[in-house]
Amino acid sequence: MCGIVAYIGKREAYPILIKGLQRLEYRGYDSAGVALLNGDLNVYKKAGKVSDLAEYVKGKNVDGHVGMGHTRWATHGEPNDRNAHPHFSQTQEFAIIHNGIIENYASIKAELIQEGHVFHSDTDTEVLIHLIEEIYNKEKVVLEEAVRLALGEVVGAYAIVILSKKEPNKMIAARKGSPIVVGIGKDEFFVASDATPIIEYTKNVAYLNDGEVAIMDNGKLTVKTIGNEIKTPYIQELEMKLEALEKGGYEHFMLKEIYEQPRSINDSMRGRFDSKTGSIRLGGISEFDKKLRNAKRMIIVACGTSWHAGLVAEYLIEDLARIPVEVEYASEFRYRNPIINEDDVLVAISQSGETADTLAAVELAKSKGATIFGVCNVVGSSIPRATHAGAYTHAGPEIGVASTKAFTAQVTVLTLMALQLAHMRGTITESRFRQVLNELENIPAKVEIALKCNEQTKVIAEKYRDAKNFLYLGRGYGFPVALEGALKLKEISYIHAEGYPAAEMKHGPIALIDEEMPVVVIATKHGSYEKVVSNIQEVKARKGKIIAIVTEGDEEVKKMADYVIEIPETDEILVPLVSVIPLQLLAYHIAVMRGCNVDQPRNLAKSVTVE
């Protein structure tokens, strides 16, 4: 939520900033801006996309070897030019970009107004840079000291970068609650919300910890805490590949990421099990072996798509490992005084590893003594750093705002986790264990086959592109998939869609069904197949239109449904991994046909770092 990028070194900063902003645009896209130091401190900012900003600065002075850029997702103040970042201080000698929220900005603002400060935006951010300048002038300290002292006064979450005309060879960055990664080159530094703007210049990075300030001054990096303690930055090498950040010939990142799933699912299981020897090893689990094996209860916290993966995990873990599981929306969990015991294991699922509510739920459970296990995609992000143990999903960077490959990677890792726990606890027979492991190996190939329904989903999309509502139904392992299918459609096509347990439809949504209502049903040949067939009949009796996802060769549903999409047969517990594919494609094609911005749907952001 909001992306920041900054550069100090010998290169021209502007091209690095604008390219970096394009990479970060998935984090927010209601306005963008840059600041450049070149004797002057020039700020250019504009409501709209990064491309609007690039157009706006054409012909303007963007020289400078020090600069910073920001792409915004509005929290305080509507998205317009005024509220866009960077923000100036009172004298316009200091500027800031900020990702996060300064909660006590109103009281600080009131004090500064008393001192004669005049504000030009409605943002909390502008208050912080005025405060920094005030301290700089009053206390007669260097820039980093003014930043440090100001941060001591603010309450809230931030990732910030500060530049000042007064100290033109210096760049200051700081974080608390919002991510900052510092890229380290030869006599040059890059700062960004994540590694994507940095990767083509350097692979050496240091992730700032909460409460740390980075001072980049004449080719030297110093890290200290807000409490003024010097820290040695931990420099690590990025594994990310540049190609992962490009569309690679696809029209949208979302489509590319949908098609990447055979590979990403494979990557998420690679090296983690051997079906021949019947062994499975998620490093994080082995490390906390005893705690996890003896867990009295597991609490899964997540948001959005990750919450749906959590629901699949609930079914898997209860089914296989026989540990009671509760799945919670992180935002509800953290505010409702939940009961958390020392023998509970909390599993936090997050693609970005930065979702503020999920992170806060982790901290809460940690403070109560629970063991925390993370299932995250972005390496080095905040949630994995806050957990006791975990497993990365290794799906590679996901750029499309609507999550696709991250979901299937999460479900893959959670399946392995459930299997390993079941094996350790002796709640699964050896033959069943091996059977599932064998079938897991076939999943990438089956996903590849499922992707062949692309043309068929286009035909269905054409037919229903103007529908006002959609209903998605599923039972058992098909239920979380129905929720995920409905979420995909809502997010990117703006059609209202609801996911429902198929049997529960009778208690409400059935009233909505008429000849206008498309109903997508997960009707694969498993446990409750016959019951799902009855639910389809209930829909047909009310003239609803059925789009059914069925197992290859199914004849029964074909007779009733308006459209059927066949997917390869697989083990019931692995059905989410294959059945979600046609739903992702259907949502994608409907959104494209409706002219929606698939990769950057309105009002959404990829990484929600505000509560």
Pick from 22, 83, 193, 305: which binds ligand G6P (CB under 6 A)? 305
Pick from 280, 521, 608, 610: which binds ligand G6P (CB under 6 A)? 608
Q: Tell whether residue 264 is a contact of ligand G6P (CB under 6 A).
A: no
Q: Which residue lies nearer to ligand G6P by CB, 485 or 544?
A: 485
Contact at 8 Å (CB) between 204 and 183?
yes
Alpha helices in 99-200 (DSSP H): 105-114, 124-139, 143-151
Q: Which class for 420: exposed (0-12), middle (13-18), buried (19 or more C-beta within 10 A)?
A: buried
Cβ 589 to ligand G6P shortest distance, Å? 19
Only segment of 287-295, 401-409, 446-454, 555-563 that touches ligand G6P (CB under 6 A): 401-409
Q: Tell whether residue 490 is a contact of ligand G6P (CB under 6 A).
A: no
Cβ 2 to ligand G6P shortest distance, Å? 14
**CA separation for the pair 27, 550 (Å, rounded):** 36
Phi and psi at 193, nearest 5°, equal -70, -35
Residues in the chain, overall count:
611
> 3-state DSSP call for residue 71?
strand
Name residue, tokens 């089914």: 319
Amino acid at site 196: T
Tell me whether residue 606 is one of the annotated catalytic residues.
Answer: yes
Q: Tell whether residue 351 is a contact of ligand G6P (CB under 6 A).
A: yes
Q: Tell whether residue 401 is a contact of ligand G6P (CB under 6 A).
A: yes
x-or-dash string of contact with ligand G6P, 157-186, rule CB under 6 A: ------------------------------
> 3-state DSSP call for residue 175?
strand
Pick from 264, 306, 528, 579: which binds ligand G6P (CB under 6 A)? 306
Q: Tell whether residue 396 is a contact of ligand G6P (CB under 6 A).
A: no
Contact at 8 Å (CB) between 287 and 389?
yes
Pick from 89, 355, 382, 570: which binds ligand G6P (CB under 6 A)? 355
Beta strands in 319-424 (DSSP E): 325-329, 344-350, 371-376, 389-392
DSSP, res 289: H
**CA separation for the pair 364, 350 (Å, rounded):** 16
Q: Tell whether residue 196 is a contact of ligand G6P (CB under 6 A).
A: no
Which residue in the shown chain puts its C-beta closest to ligand G6P? 304
Only segment of 222-230, 455-463, 549-557, 602-610 that touches ligand G6P (CB under 6 A): 602-610
Determine which one of 446, 488, 490, 606 is catalytic.
606
**Going by C-beta distance under 8 Å and a sequence separation of 6 or more, which residues neighbour residue 93?**
41, 133, 164, 165, 166
Pick from 132, 606, 609, 610: which binds ligand G6P (CB under 6 A)? 606
Q: Tell whether residue 310 is a contact of ligand G6P (CB under 6 A).
A: no
**CA separation for the pair 4, 148 (Å, rounded):** 19
Q: Tell whether residue 387 is a contact of ligand G6P (CB under 6 A).
A: no
**CA separation for the pair 182, 202 (Å, rounded):** 10
Alpha carbon of residue 307 to chain centroid: 12
**CA separation for the pair 472, 101 (Å, rounded):** 36
**CA separation for the pair 281, 283 (Å, rounded):** 6
Give the count of residues interacting with ligand G6P (CB under 6 A). 16
x-or-dash string of contact with ligand G6P, 552-591, rule CB under 6 A: ----------------------------------------
**CA separation for the pair 223, 175 (Å, rounded):** 11
Cβ 54 to ligand G6P shortest distance, Å? 25
Only segment of 262-270, 321-329, 348-356, 521-529 that touches ligand G6P (CB under 6 A): 348-356
**CA separation for the pair 495, 486 (Å, rounded):** 9
Only segment of 183-191, 528-536, 567-575, 599-607 that touches ligand G6P (CB under 6 A): 599-607
Q: Tell whether residue 403 is a contact of ligand G6P (CB under 6 A).
A: yes
Determine which one of 2, 303, 376, 453 is catalytic.
2
Tell me whether residue 2 is one of the annotated catalytic residues.
Answer: yes
Name residue, tokens 């008393």: 114
Pick from 38, 83, 352, 371: which binds ligand G6P (CB under 6 A)? 352
Q: Which residues bind ligand G6P (CB under 6 A)?
A: 303-306, 350-352, 355, 358, 401-403, 604, 606-608
Catalytically annotated residues = 2, 606
